[in-house]
C-alpha cells in the first residue's frame, strides 16, 4: 500500500495500529454478539442512577456546547481532593489526557520511561510525537518504581509512566511506596501516575501528595469505579503551572455537557460508589474461585479485573483466550512476556461470571489440544 505523500515523515514511519481491538469489532468478525463482555475493564455494574438521571436531563440541552472550562466539575473535584481548581484538568478520559501530555512535552528523540508490557496507549502517544521509549521489566508481576526512576536518571527522561493499581496485572503498591517514588523522581522529569482504578483499591493505596508538587501529574477517570467509560471523561491533578500549560494544546470543547453533568452527579453519590466497590470485591473473589477450580491461579487485584496465571506460556494463554472468544466470552490478556502467560477477566454481573465458569473448562481443553499440535 502506497504511503500518502502528504503525511509528515514521522507519521509515515508509524504503523497503523490499534492498541485495543474493541469487542464490537470482534463481534462483527465472528458474526455474533458475545455472551459475556469481560475484557475491556468496564464497570458492568453501571453508573450511579443519579448520574444517569443527570445525563438524561442534560441530553435536552445537548444542542449547546459543553462548558469549555468545565467549571462546575473542576470546582467539585477540587473540593473532593482538597486542592484548588487550578490544580485540576478535565479531559476526554485518561487516554486523551496522556495524548495531550505527550503533545505538550515530547519531541523527536525525547526519552520517556515506562514498564515493558504496561498500558500500551501511553506508548502509542509517545511514539506518535517522536519520543523514544525506554522500558524496564516488571519485578515479578509488579511495576518497579525504583527501576523506573533509575532508568529515567540513566537516560535523562522527560516523562516516567506508572499505573497504580496496575493495568494489565491488577497488582498495586502502597501509597507510601508511591510517595517515595515521587520523592526520588530525577530532576527535570515528570512522573505520570495513572490511578484509573484507585477507587477500587484498598485504603492506603492512594499516596498523600500535595497537588502543588511539580514532580508528579496524577490521572483519574470516571470510567472504572464510576461506571462511565462510554462518556469519556477523566481528569488530572497537578501543580497549577503544569495544569495551565495544557491550555496550549487541549481540545477546549472536548468534554461534552452530558458527560460533565454525569460526572458531577457521580462524584456526589458516595453510596453508589460503595455499592460498586462491594460488587467488584465479590466478583473478584468469584473469578479467583472459578480459576482455582480449573487449575488457574489468581493474582492479587486492586482493580475491576482479575489476572489469572495459566501456569504456562504466552502461546498457551493466547490459545485459551481464543477458545473463550470462540465460546462467546470476551476477555483479553497481557501482551508482553512473562506477563503474557496470563488471561485477564473483568468483574461483572453474576450471569456473566456464570457464563465464564461454564465456558472455561472446555476452553482449557481446547487450548491444551492446540498446544500439542
- Our CA dihedral for 235, 241, 244, 248, rounded to 10 degrees, sits at -120
Q: What is the mean pLDDT of each run of 10 residues along the chain (373 residues)?
A: 83 87 94 97 97 98 97 98 98 98 98 97 96 98 98 98 98 98 98 98 97 98 98 98 98 97 98 98 98 98 98 97 98 96 98 98 95 70
Strands 216-221 and 190-194: parallel
Tell me, what's the pLDDT at 16?
A: 85
Asked whether the CA dihedral 89, 90, 96, 98 is positive or negative, the reply is positive
Strands 329-330 and 159-163: unpaired
Tell me, what's the pLDDT at 5?
A: 84
pLDDT tens-digit series, residues 341-364: 999 999 999 999 999 999 999 999
Q: Are 218 and 248 in contact (CB under 8 A)?
A: no
The domain ranges of the chain are 21-46+271-368, 49-268
Tell me, what's the pLDDT at 1?
A: 58
Tell me, what's the pLDDT at 255?
A: 98
pLDDT tens-digit series, residues 141-172: 999 999 999 999 999 999 999 999 999 999 99
For domain 21-46+271-368, the question of CATH label 3.30.360.10 is answered with no
Phi, psi (degrees; rounded to nearest 5) at 37: -105, 90
Q: Do domains 21-46+271-368 and 49-268 have the same CATH topology?
A: no
Tell me, what's the pLDDT at 370?
A: 82
Tell me, what's the pLDDT at 18?
A: 80
Buried b (16+ CB within 10 A) or exposed e, 256-277: bbbbbbbbbbbbbbeebbeebb
For 71-116, give the DSSP string: HHHHHHHHHHHTS-GGGEEEESHHHHHHHHHHHHH--TT-EEEEET
User: Which among 155, 151, 150 has a CA at the least distance from the CA of 110?
Assistant: 155
Q: Which CATH number fits domain 49-268: 3.40.50.2300, 3.40.50.1000, 3.40.50.300, 3.40.640.10?
A: 3.40.640.10
In three-state secondary structure terms, 259 is helix
Say what the pTM is.
Answer: 0.96
pLDDT tens-digit series, residues 73-120: 999 999 999 999 999 999 999 999 999 999 999 999 999 999 999 999
Residues across the chain: 373
> If you average pLDDT over every residue of the chain, what do you get?
97
Task: Look up residue 4 and give its three cell numbers.
Answer: 500518502
Amino acid at each position: 500500500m502506497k504511503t500518502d505523500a502528504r503525511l509528515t515523515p514521522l507519521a509515515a514511519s508509524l504503523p497503523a495500529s490499534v492498541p485495543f481491538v474493541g469487542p464490537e469489532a470482534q463481534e462483527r468478525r465472528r458474526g455474533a454478539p458475545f455472551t459475556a463482555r469481560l475484557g475491556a475493564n468496564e464497570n458492568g455494574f453501571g453508573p450511579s442512577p443519579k448520574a444517569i438521571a443527570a445525563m438524561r436531563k442534560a441530553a435536552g440541552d445537548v444542542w449547546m456546547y459543553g462548558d469549555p472550562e468545565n467549571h462546575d466539575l473542576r470546582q467539585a473535584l477540587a473540593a473532593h481532593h482538597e486542592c484548588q481548581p487550578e490544580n485540576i484538568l478535565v479531559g476526554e478520559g485518561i487516554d486523551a489526557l496522556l495524548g495531550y501530555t505527550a503533545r505538550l512535552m515530547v519531541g523527536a528523540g525525547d526519552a520517556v520511561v515506562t514498564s515493558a508490557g504496561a498500558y500500551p496507549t501511553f506508548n502509542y502517544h509517545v511514539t506518535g510525537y517522536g519520543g523514544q521509549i525506554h522500558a524496564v521489566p516488571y519485578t515479578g508481576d509488579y511495576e518497579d518504581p525504583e527501576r523506573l526512576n533509575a532508568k529515567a536518571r540513566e537516560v535523562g527522561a522527560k516523562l516516567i509512566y506508572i499505573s497504580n493499581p496496575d493495568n494489565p496485572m491488577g497488582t498495586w503498591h502502597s501509597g507510601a511506596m508511591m510517595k517515595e517514588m515521587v520523592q526520588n523522581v530525577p530532576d527535570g522529569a515528570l512522573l505520570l501516575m495513572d490511578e484509573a482504578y484507585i477507587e477500587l483499591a484498598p485504603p492506603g493505596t492512594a499516596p498523600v501528595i500535595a497537588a502543588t508538587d511539580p514532580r508528579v501529574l496524577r490521572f483519574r477517570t470516571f470510567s472504572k469505579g464510576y461506571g462511565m467509560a462510554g462518556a469519556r471523561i477523566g481528569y488530572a491533578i497537578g501543580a497549577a503551572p503544569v495544569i495551565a500549560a495544557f491550555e496550549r494544546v487541549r481540545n477546549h470543547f472536548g468534554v461534552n455537557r452530558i458527560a460533565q453533568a454525569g460526572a458531577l452527579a457521580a462524584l456526589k453519590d458516595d453510596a453508589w460508589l460503595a455499592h460498586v466497590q462491594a460488587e467488584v470485591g465479590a466478583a473478584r473473589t468469584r473469578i479467583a474461585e472459578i480459576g482455582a477450580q480449573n487449575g488457574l491461579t489468581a493474582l492479587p487485584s486492586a482493580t475491576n479485573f482479575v489476572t489469572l496465571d495459566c501456569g504456562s506460556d504466552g502461546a498457551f494463554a493466547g490459545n485459551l483466550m481464543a477458545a473463550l472468544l470462540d465460546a462467546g466470552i470476551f476477555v483479553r490478556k497481557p501482551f508482553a512476556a512473562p506477563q503474557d502467560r496470563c488471561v485477564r477477566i473483568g468483574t461483572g454481573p453474576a450471569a456473566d461470571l456464570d457464563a465464564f465458569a461454564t465456558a472455561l473448562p472446555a476452553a482449557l481443553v481446547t487450548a491444551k489440544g492446540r498446544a500439542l499440535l
